[in-house]
Amino acid sequence: MISRFRLTGLFLSLVLPGLVCAQPYQIQPDSDRVIRNVFGRFDLRIAVGPKSFDGRILKRDARVVIVDAKSGSATNLMTDTSLTFYDIRDDDRGRLILYAGNSQGGVFEGTYYFIDGDGRSASVPMSIDGHDMLVESDRIYAMKYVPESTRFRQDLHLAIYRFDARLEKILWSWTSKGRFALDGSTFSDSQSFPDDKESLIERAAKRLLITLLSPFDIKYPVRFSSWGKQLRLPTNDYIHANSIIRAPNGNLWISARHQDAILELDERSDSVVSWIGGKFSRRSDWRIIGDPLVSFSHQHSLQLRGDELYILDNGNRFDNRTSRVVVYRCDFGKRTLTFLKDFPEPNGLHRPTQGSVRTLDGNHILVGWGGLLKRDAGKPQRGVSIFEIDTGREIFGFDLDAGLDSYNANAIGAATIVDLKIPALEAPRAR
């Protein structure tokens, strides 16, 4: 029953979803002794999966690979669906939560499914890469991207919806549309997708063709069958929200990757009341103090533990910098972030996309390291790490073969996950 998935103390199994379809790969878990010292006598289970190096092309094969870190054996958790799994977690109501979706015309359409103990599922359509949600006892916050096309580009606006706990009513909503400068993004293809660079001639030809087609009522993508090519409108993902948490003052903190900032949102006024910006953000109301690497950039995954803020810092705007988890102490009155420590990617690699950090207990964090550059395909890449917070020591970790991504690491509350039968899922229509 799914109710067995509640977190109880240190009774943890770890699930690390990627864009998953199972292939043979090398798992390098640490010793059994180390795992038992952290998690008691229970097995550690982690799910990983491969994807194309191009993060915008997803394979349709729905399975989660559960890895027993004690033996290195792997089991497929399958469902009869064409959807691809991104994320798996549970909530305090005994429901299993899956983030899954499919790729249509090169654009990912994702949905969160809430599956109860009887196999019934409810869903929240994310409509283009929802990334994360905040699940609280009496409410659920879901982030959704809302595309708006002009003749020359497609703008992706962020929408946030607050649902009741049963997903039956929308209690509040918010949108970024009209609140931000559409040309204020810090994103560039060359920094986030350096393996997919287009030549100047290709970019110029696309711009010219879109300009020539602009007077007409064109539905994109335009397919050129004889060339095997498609023409898409450029996408302006000016926010790219990928994490949402509750701050101590009751406001929401939103990780805005393409603003190099964390946005503090007050639900009562619908206003962004402060920006926590890195070096490349166009604005910051907070100061970062003492960071030897200056600040974070193109971050993923926020976690607050008391007044300590944990960020998965991809570091894209700092060229070729080793990605890391960085920890700051927050002074909410003075609006300062004071550097405490960081945890570099153990193989010293720059990981330009994806990744996550989760606090497990008082002295351990779980890190999924995200995507890999194609140029580093022959090098060891960490899939997941567990660090001691006080010493900074990596006490558990394993490497993945090239092409395997560890997008989002989460702890779920039962070692019997392989016995669960996930029902057939079909993608609902976006609301």
One-letter amino acid identity for 330? C
The CA-atom distances, in angstroms, between 190 and each of 121, 197, 230, 319 are 40, 6, 21, 11
- Decide: 77 and 97 in contact? Cβ < 8 Å: no
Return d(Cα 60, Cα 103) in angstroms, integer: 8
Return d(Cα 69, Cα 113) in angstroms, integer: 27
Return d(Cα 123, Cα 252) in angstroms, integer: 22
Write out the H or E segment, with its range, that includes residue 212: helix 200-213
- Decide: 130 and 158 in contact? Cβ < 8 Å: no
Burial class of residue 190 in the structure, from the number of CB atoms within 10 Å of its CB (0-12 exposed, 13-18 middle, 19+ buried): exposed
Q: Could you count the other beta carbons within 10 Å of the beta carbon of residue 7?
A: 15
Q: What six digits make up the tokens of 59? A: 């394979």
Q: Where are the beta strands (DSSP E) in 181-323?
A: 222-224, 229-231, 235-236, 241-246, 252-256, 261-266, 271-277, 287-289, 300-305, 308-313
Residue count of the chain, please give it. 431
- Decide: 298 and 280 in contact? Cβ < 8 Å: no
Q: Could you count the other beta carbons within 10 Å of the beta carbon of residue 413?
A: 19
Return d(Cα 237, Cα 81) in angstroms, integer: 29
Q: What six digits make up the tokens of 286? A: 């907070």
Query: Which residues, 6 or more positions from 328, have their beta carbon under 8 angstroms from its beta carbon?
Result: 288, 291, 308, 309, 311, 337, 338, 339, 340
pTM of the model: 0.81
Instruction: Return per-residue pLDDT of the chain as tens, 431 residues.
Output: 333 333 222 223 333 333 232 232 333 333 333 333 333 323 333 444 334 333 333 333 334 545 454 444 445 454 555 666 667 777 777 777 777 766 555 456 677 778 776 767 777 755 445 678 888 989 989 888 888 988 888 899 999 999 888 888 899 999 999 999 999 899 877 777 776 667 778 888 888 888 888 888 888 878 887 777 788 888 899 999 999 999 999 999 999 999 999 999 999 999 999 999 999 999 999 999 999 999 999 999 999 999 999 999 999 999 889 999 999 999 999 999 999 999 999 999 999 988 889 887 788 888 888 888 888 877 877 878 889 999 999 877 777 666 566 777 766 654 334 344 455 555 444 44
Domains in the chain: ranges and CATH: 2-419 (2.120.10.80)
Q: Could you count the other beta carbons within 10 Å of the beta carbon of residue 71?
A: 11
pLDDT score for 377: 77
Q: What is the largest distance, in Å, between two alpha-carbon atoms of the chain?
A: 67
pLDDT tens by residue, 284-301: 999 999 999 999 999 999
By C-alpha distance, which of 194, 191, 198, 199 is closest to 376? 194
By C-alpha distance, which of 110, 313, 283 is closest to 184? 283
Q: What six digits make up the tokens of 125? A: 């359509």
pLDDT score for 233: 87
- Decide: 78 and 84 in contact? Cβ < 8 Å: no
